[in-house]
Structure formats: C-alpha cells, structure tokens
Amino acid sequence: MASLSIDLIRKLADRHPKASHLRFQYGTAGFRTLGSILDSVMFRVGVLAALRSKRFDGKTIGVMVTASHNPEHDNGVKLVDPRGEMLEASWENHATVLANAPTTDAFIECLEILVKNLRIDLSKPSRVVYGRDTRPTGAALVASLEDGLRAIGAEGRNAGITTTPILHYLVRAINTKGTKDEYGEDSEEGYMKKLSTAFKKLVAGKPASEPLIVDCANGVGTQAVAEISQYLGDTLQLLPYNTAASSTGALNNACGADFVKTTQKLPPSLHGVLKPGQRGCSFDGDADRIIYFYLDERGHFCMLDGDKIAALVAAFIVELVKSAGLENKIKVGIVQTAYANGGSTKYLASRLPVKCVATGVKHLHHAAEHYDVGVYFEANGHGTVLFSPDTLHIFQTHQPSTPAQSTGLNHLINLTQLINQTVGDALSDMLLVEVVLAHKSYSGAEWDSLYVDLPNRLVKVVVPDRSIFKTEDAERRLVSPPGLQSKIDDLRRRYEAGRAFVRPSGTEDVVRVYAEAQFRPQADELAYRVAGLVYDEVGGDPSKRPNEFM
C-alpha cells in the first residue's frame, strides 16, 4: 500500500508556511483574497487537487488561479472536477480545513486523516491541469501550486494564461479523450476550432452582422478574443477594447462586465466609441461572464444582462426544438436566482418552467441538469445551456421527416458544439447571442423589447458579522435576525411591483440588499430603506447609515 512521502511534503510545505493570523474559506468562488497572502493556500490546493485526482482513479482535475472581476491586487483559486464542473461541495470543506492547518505538522496530520477517511488509494496516478488569468501575482502563485503537485508526485500540465472557461473545457476534453463522449481536442486551439466551426455552420447563409465591440476588461479575455477572431474570419468582426492586459492597475478598472452590471453604465473608455444602434459587450476579468449593451437612438445606455440573454436564448432553442419536430420529447427549462429581474421572471414563467435557486454557479448548474435542456443565467451575466445525455441521444437518433425539421435539428446539434456546457463562458455566450441575433435579424433594441426590466437597485451594507443573516426560499426571505423579514415585507408592500431581499454575500464581508419597483425613484428608495433596516438591526454607526443620496 503506497503512502504519503512525508519527508518530501514536509520539506516543500515548509517553503510555504501559513501566517498564523490568517483564516481562509473556500467559498462560492473558491479561495479569494489579496494575492499577496495566498502562497500557503496555493501549495495546499496543489496537494488537495492531486489527491482528488487519485480519488478519481487518475482522472484530471483542474485548478484555476483567478479572482475574476475583483480588483487586480486580489487573487484566488478554484478546483474543477473531472467533468469540467465546479468542485463537489463536500470537498470545499476539506479545502478549508487544509488551508487553515496552522503548521506543517498540523497540515500533514490533516492530510493523513483525509486520505484515511476518504479511502484515497495513493498508488493511483494523479493528474492536474492548471491555468491562471493575467494578474501580476499569478506566476508566483502557480509556482507554489506546482510545489503542491510535486509533494504528491502528481503529473501537472500547465495551460498557461487562459480564461476560466477554457480551463474547464480542457478538463472535460482531457477526461473524455478517446471515448464516445469526446468533448473536443484537449487544447486551446481545439476549443477555438470547436466554437468557431459551430458558429460558422450556424450563421451560414445569414447576412454578416455589424461589427461587435468587445470590452475585454483589460484581462485574459483579450487574448481569447484575438484568437477567436483569427478563426472567425469575416463571419463576425470583433472590435476589442480595454485590451491592456499587462498594464498595472488596468484589470477590471472602470470596465468589464461587473462594472457595467453594478453601475448600469457604459465603461468610460467606450464613450464616443459605441455609436447609437451599435451593440457591444463586456467580459469580466477571467471571461466567464458577459453583459451586452447598446445605445438607443437618443444615445441612452441600455443594458442587456444575463436575464435578457436567458430570454433570448431560451426562446430560440424552444423554436428550434419545435421546428425539429421534437416538442413532445424535449422540454426546455430555465434556472435563475433571486437577482433575476421581476420583468424577466414574469416573461419567462408564462412560457417555460422557471426554477429559482441560491446564488452561485454550482446551484444553477445542478438545477439546470434536471431539465432536458436547461438554460441558466445569473443576472450578472454568468450562464450557459446544458443538454442532458438523453437529449443528446435524441438529437443523434431522431429522423427528421421534412427539410425544415432537418434544418432545425442540425441547428440544435451545432448549438451543442457552440455552447461550453461546463460553465458560463463569455466567448461562447457571445457567439451564441450573435447566432440568435443573426437568425432573428434583431437589433439590440428589438432584443431588449422582449420584456421590460423593472428598475432595480443593489446596495451593500457593511456589518460586523454577516453570519447572523440566514435565508430561506432560495435566499428570497430572511429567517434570521428574527423579525427583520416582516419589516421588509411591510415596506415592500407600499411600492408598486415592489420586491426586495437581503442576503449575506458569499464573497465579501457585507450584506447585500436588492430592490426593484415599477419606477426608478421607488426602486432606489426601497433599496435604501431596506438597507437602513439592516443597518439598524446590527446597531451600526448612525453617521454611516446608508441613505438615498449615496
């Protein structure tokens, strides 16, 4: 029976000691904090990823070093499971325990317990593929991660600087290589080829769309956009902006999907660039989120967020399923979170089954797996479409009885190739949106008019201890602190189409308040009044109480 190489682990672990005052938590998006304090965490994540691979008989596990839309000085790391999905929840705890072991000895002791309890067969091989975004702290953190892999004797494959969704793609492609479910060639080039080939088939015969402005958030999306452009040729012209991926301080700064979604504004760098009627989109720092926008004829900024993308894409897929003659066999469903705009939920729920789940990609992804075709999007622009194995089988075996059915079916099959089904993917989602717009001949304004967004406002309240805030009903209601929910309900009822909820953030030390109402001033007022209730509840400093003039 093989055992851990304790001496080697000790020697390497001693090079990455944990600072005693730090505490780490594997949260919704993995470990995420200042890049400068993550060294010990990276080493330990390397060890854990290597063990997880052994647990799966040597299947490849992914590790992505990124802090997504956070400021440049932050960094983070998350693990990717063999099918290209987020790490299974029970292992999030193991990651947290390992990361917080105070000394090398304590760390080794935790490892031994883990190996024993999880019955990890150490004689199995171990393979890990890893990548990072463009953050300045990335290279050193990857070196620490590599020490962790070395400590277990894992075989590492460095995917270099790449997007989060490409790393997810690689994991699935590596693990399905040579099987009947082969996901694609296991290289970045394979990914580019797969997406662009499907895109070209889907838009064949359609007039070329107007060039699309792409805000790359000064991040790793820059290189992905440049690469895909080579493959797309003149089928879609991309005009990349915010491409200063190596300039200090530029990443996600006044640009990118998170900036656009939270400020509901055009990045200042695109003022004067985006012309009325023209479409643009913003990626986030690791290119797994996308938000579209356009200027109306009066030059007003209009945002097309994850909810609008879900509505556009779901309607298109439903149409194709019908035209392929499969409407009795395949049901399309939607997954949203409480942040979905009430306008979108109303529009979608009158047409399709809609499920609301807690914030965080893993919740949406798992819920979407229960549909034949599951469309999931967070309002913040993270989302994708999942086709169940049975659905894929139906696509492969269905015999169309008319040329129109055959066209519908082919489009569906090409969509399964275009869409990155492992995780939300800005590049793949962008191509998906462009396909639908080309098929429908929609302008941004026509797409936007599918339904009207209710005005909404997001406010964050800094509290001493966010763990006292507990929710139920997919985070739409508070159960603790007691009594607060009924005060929120009393307020909300006074506003036309008023809706508000409060939840603790999974990524920051704050409580988030969301409110929407029929009219803009009321949505703002409701948000600030609910934030005020939260603030009073925790006995905050009255001078820092949120108010509508903030």
Give the interface with Mg ion as residue ranges (CB under 5 A).
68, 284, 286, 288
* Closer to ligand 16G by Cβ: residue 411 or 466: 466
Assess 358 for contact with ligand 16G (CB under 6 A).
Answer: no
Does residue number 62 form part of the binding site for ligand 16G (CB under 6 A)?
A: no
Does the footprint of ligand 16G cover residue 368 (CB under 6 A)?
A: no
Q: Between 64 and 318, whose beta carbon lies closer to ligand 16G?
A: 64
Is 50 annotated as contributing to ligand binding?
no
Is 28 near ligand 16G (CB under 6 A)?
Answer: yes
User: Alpha carbon 372 to chain centroid distance?
Assistant: 21
Kindly state the smallest distance separating residue 151's Cβ from ligand 16G, in Å: 27
Backbone angles phi, psi at 454, to 5 degrees: -80, 140
SS3 117: helix
Given a contact cutoff of 8 angstroms between Cβ atoms, the answer to whether 519 and 534 are in contact is: no
Position with the least CB separation from Mg ion: 68
242 annotated binding-site participant? no
325 versus 424: smaller Cβ distance to Mg ion: 424
Nearest to 387 by CA among 345, 438, 432: 432
Residue 361 interacts, among ligand 16G, Mg ion, none and using kind-specific CB cut-offs from 5 to 8 Å, with: ligand 16G
Name which of ligand 16G, Mg ion, none residue 284 binds, using a CB cut-off of 5 to 8 Å depending on partner kind: Mg ion
User: Residues with Cβ < 8 Å from 272, sequence gap 6 or more?
Assistant: none
Question: At closest approach, how far in Å is the CB of 338 from ligand 16G?
Answer: 11
Q: Binding residue per annotation — 504?
A: yes
Cα dihedral 266, 272, 277, 278, rounded to 10, equals -80
Nearest residue (CB) to ligand 16G, 28 versus 264: 28
Site for ligand 16G in 480-509 (CB under 6 A): 505-508
Helical pair 104-117 and 89-100, crossing angle rounded to 10 deg: 150
**Of Mg ion, ligand 16G, none, which one does residue 380 interact with (CB within 5 to 8 Å by kind)?**
ligand 16G
286 is in an annotated binding site: yes
Given the residues 3, 5, 20, 68, select the one marked as catalytic: 68
Site string for ligand 16G, 506-525 (x = CB under 6 A): xxx---x-------------
CB of residue 29 vs ligand 16G: minimum separation in angstroms? 4
Point out which residues pair with 34 in neighbouring strands.
74
Best CA proximity match to 385, nearest among 475, 306, 473: 306
We find the least distance from the C-beta atom of residue 359 to ligand 16G, in angstroms, to be 5
Asked if 29 touches ligand 16G (CB under 6 A), the answer is yes
Q: Is 380 in the site for ligand 16G (CB under 6 A)?
A: yes
Q: Which of 481, 443, 313 is nearest to 381 (CA)?
A: 313
Partner from ligand 16G, Mg ion, none binding residue 512, C-beta < 5-8 Å depending on class:
ligand 16G
Least distance to ligand 16G, CB of residue 402, Å: 41
DSSP state of 268: G
To the question of whether residue 379 is assigned a binding role by annotation, the answer is yes
Nearest to Mg ion of 68, 264 (CB atom): 68
Query: Shortest gap between Cβ of 414 and ligand 16G (angstroms)?
Result: 27
Residue 217 CB, shortest distance to Mg ion, in Å, is 9
The Cβ of residue 176 has, within 10 Å, a number of other Cβ atoms equal to: 17
Nearer to Mg ion, 307 or 425 (CB): 425
Radius of gyration from C-alpha coordinates of the chain: 24
What is the arrangement of strands in the sheet containing 301-304, beginning at the earlier edge strand?
238-241, 212-215, 279-283, 290-295, 301-304
**What is the C-alpha to C-alpha distance for residues 96 and 26, in angstroms, rounded to an integer?**
5
319 labeled binding residue: no
168, 194, 382, 529: residue in contact with ligand 16G (rule CB under 6 A): 382
> What is the Cα–Cα distance from 97 to 222, expressed in whole angstroms?
36
Q: How far is the CB of 238 from Mg ion (least distance, A)?
A: 19
Report which secondary-structure segment, H or E, holds 31.
strand 31-34
Neighbours of 195 (CB within 10 A): 25
Q: CB of 352: closest distance to Mg ion in angstroms?
A: 27
Torsion, CA 303, CA 309, CA 310, CA 311, rounded to 10: 80
Integer CA distances (angstroms), 379 to 8, 68, 301, in order: 46, 16, 17
- Distance, in Å, from the CA atom of 424 to the CA atom of 438, rounded to the nearest integer, reads 21
The verdict on whether residue 267 carries a ligand-binding annotation is: no
Kindly report the backbone phi and psi dihedral angles of residue 384, in degrees, each rounded to the nearest multiple of 5, phi listed first: -160, -170
Say whether 68 is catalytic.
Answer: yes
| 284 annotated as ligand-binding | yes
Number of H helices, E strands in the chain: 18, 19
Phi, psi dihedral angles at 494 (to 5 degrees) = -80, -5
* 190 versus 506: smaller Cβ distance to ligand 16G: 506
Distance from C-alpha of 164 to C-alpha of 285, rounded to nearest angstrom = 9
Position 466 contacts ligand 16G (CB under 6 A): no
User: Which residue, 203 or 459, is less far from ligand 16G as judged by CB?
Assistant: 459
Does 144 show up as a binding residue in the annotation? Answer: no
Annotated ligand binding at 298? The verdict is no
Q: Which stretch binds ligand 16G (CB under 6 A): 55-63, 356-364, 427-435, 527-535?
A: 356-364
Residue 512 assigned as binding residue: yes
Which of 129, 174, 361, 373: binder of ligand 16G (CB under 6 A)? 361
Place of tokens 């040597």: 58
Strand segments (E) across 284-438: 290-295, 301-304, 332-337, 354-357, 373-377, 383-387
Rule CB under 6 A: is residue 383 a binding residue for ligand 16G?
no
Q: Given the complex with ligand 16G, which of 337 and 417 has the nearer CB atom?
A: 337
Question: Binding residues for ligand 16G, per CB under 6 A?
Answer: 28-29, 359-361, 378, 380, 382, 505-508, 512
Annotated binding residues for substrate, written as ranges, equal: 378-380, 503-507, 512
Annotated binding residues for Mg(2+), written as ranges, equal: 68, 284, 286, 288
Instruction: Return the active site residues.
Output: 68
